[in-house]
Structure 1
């Protein structure tokens, strides 16, 4: 089969790889109809995530038709149309029973390695390094889905791929980030980053009833998309984030702040971004944390910081004094996808949201390497890429 494979920094190739096969009775094989390039895939592309090996198949947003099932695949059957969550879940461990699916205790087959790096590793993830199990990803013609009886979302034929594809990651990621904010009707929710996850944070915060939603970015097309979703926008190249947030909140600051950027945040003119880049170059720091620092500074006392943006390792100069003295609550984590998907699928079916709004580019899988560059460089108004194997 054909797939997109990682071969090092800025090196994704369209290659022929062996077809997947059933390895366990709970497995299924899915024929991929649509997959997507995620912002967190760029962290792999830039080689900021450890544990990648040359030839690894990438991608964790995908859906398709079930082609083969193991004897213990539950009610999953050949011909079912499914979206596959990026978090692989057994459904039986203590964390899964609590709904904490992204920290499933059984699905990461390299858990011993992840435990050494993180203290306690999380769930297995598709196409996202050997620290998360080394599973082949979904930017491919076919995918083996382990624990397939649990790791799937059945979707109706009445909805298009583009309407349901993002149930596997960015829609529940944005929703979880907004839910973590405990939004009240009088709240201002400030969101850093108007990429795909940020866009779903905007729609989620609006659906959950925030008084005003503010988005910070510097890409005009992304800011326009966020504004169309109900957000007030701040272009940090053109105005002061601090001054504008003070104006919008009458000097009090936003009650809720969301970091939808993660480890590659940067503002070219900021001193701390220059500091982070120098430390990265010297291998003294792995993640750039400008957004996290700025959120701590501007958030209203007793507010909540929600962090769906991916971080991979170590950050420096975190202002713990303001964080503690302002009484801020921090909530973060990979997304517990299956916790949210029943409700989100219902919202899509009822017409309250059409997730296809975020798609700006559709291409064949063979164009994937070029589309990685287009997405990375935000060329041609690119916000979200869907690939068709």
Structure 2
């Protein structure tokens, strides 16, 4: 089959690889009908994610048609259309029983590597390094889905692939980011990053009752899409974010701040971001947390900082004194997608939201490597790429 394969920093190729096979009675094989490039895939593209191996198949936003199914794969049957969560959960462990699907104790076969870095291992993820299981991803013609009795959700016939695809990651992640804010009527939510997750967080914040959403970015197309969703725009290239938020909130600060950027914050957004870039380039640091620092400083006393941007290692110069003395609450996670799937599927079916609004580019797998570059470089108005193998 054809797949997008990692061969090193900035080196992704469309190649022929071995077709997946059933390896366990709880497995299913799907023929991929739609997959996407996620913002967190760009961290792999830029060489920020450790334990990538030559030949690894990428991708964790995937849906398709079941073509083969193990005898213990629940109620799935050949021909079902399904969307596949990027988090892999076993359906049996302590964290599964608590609904913390992305904390599954059993689905990362390489858990010892993660434990050395983080103390404990989270769940395995599709297409996201051997630190998180080494599972082949879904930017391919076919995908093996382990624990298929727990993960995939069936898609109603009347929904298109594009309406359902983002239930695999960015819609639940953006919704979780807003839910973490415990939004009350009349509140103002500030969101850093108007990429795909940020766009979903904007719409989700309004769905959950926010009165105002402040969207912080610098890419014109992203800011325009945020404005179309009801947000007020702050371009960090043309205005200083902190005083602008102070002005918009009568000096109090945002009720909650969402970091939807993560480890690769824009290097032109402050001297600390430039220093972060130098540190990561010289192996003196692992992440560039400028946005997190700014979100903390812009959040009101006893407000919430919600973190859904990906960080991988040790963060430098975080203003914990500000957070502690002002009573901030931090909420963060890799999204337990399965927890959100039924409710968010229902919202799509009812017409509360059509997540396909974020798509700007449609392509084949063969065009994928070039579109990784386009997406990374924010060229051609690229906000979200969907590929149809």
TM-score (ref. length: structure 2): 0.99
Give, in whole Å, the separation in 2 of the partners of 1:180 and 1:92. 26
Deviations 1:242-292 (A, max 9, x none): 121111100100010000000001241511011111111221101001000
- The 5 A counterparts of 1:62-81 are 62-81=62-81
Residue 366 of structure 1 corresponds to 366
Give, in whole Å, the separation in 1 of the partners of 2:358 and 2:298. 28
Give, in whole Å, the separation in 2 of the partners of 1:260 and 1:233. 15
Residue 187 of structure 2 corresponds to 187
- The 5 A counterparts of 1:168-247 are 168-247=168-247
Give, in whole Å, the separation in 2 of the partners of 1:227 and 1:10. 32
Residue aligned with 2:13, SS: strand
C-alpha contact 2:22 2:28 (8 A) present in aligned 1: yes
Q: Shift of residue 315 of structure 1?
A: 1.4
Residue aligned with 1:273, SS: helix
- The 5 A counterparts of 1:223-372 are 223-268=223-268, 270-372=270-372
C-alpha contact 2:50 2:131 (8 A) present in aligned 1: yes
C-alpha contact 2:236 2:269 (8 A) present in aligned 1: no
Residue aligned with 2:131, SS: helix
Give, in whole Å, the separation in 2 of the partners of 1:170 and 1:274. 28
Pair 1:25-2:29 in alignment: no
Q: Shift of residue 388 of structure 1?
A: 0.8
- The 5 A counterparts of 1:11-50 are 11-50=11-50
TM-score (ref. length: structure 1): 0.99
C-alpha contact 2:258 2:305 (8 A) present in aligned 1: yes
Give, in whole Å, the separation in 2 of the partners of 1:108 and 1:153. 21
**Which range moved further: 279-288 or 54-63?**
279-288
Q: Shift of residue 113 of structure 1?
A: 1.8
Give ranges in structure 2 of 5+ residues lacking alignment. none
Q: Shift of residue 110 of structure 1?
A: 1.0
Deviations 1:22-46 (A, max 9, x none): 0000000010000000000000000
User: Aligned pair count?
Assistant: 389
Residue aligned with 2:291, SS: helix
Give, in whole Å, the separation in 2 of the partners of 1:27 and 1:111. 20
Give, in whole Å, the separation in 2 of the partners of 1:296 and 1:352. 31
Pair 1:133-2:112 in alignment: no
Residue 123 of structure 1 corresponds to 123
Residue aligned with 1:66, SS: strand
Deviations 1:132-159 (A, max 9, x none): 1000000000010000111101111100
Give, in whole Å, the separation in 2 of the partners of 1:117 and 1:253. 34
Deviations 1:151-197 (A, max 9, x none): 10111110001100000000000001110110011211000000000
Residue aligned with 2:301, SS: coil
C-alpha contact 2:51 2:129 (8 A) present in aligned 1: yes
C-alpha contact 2:237 2:269 (8 A) present in aligned 1: no
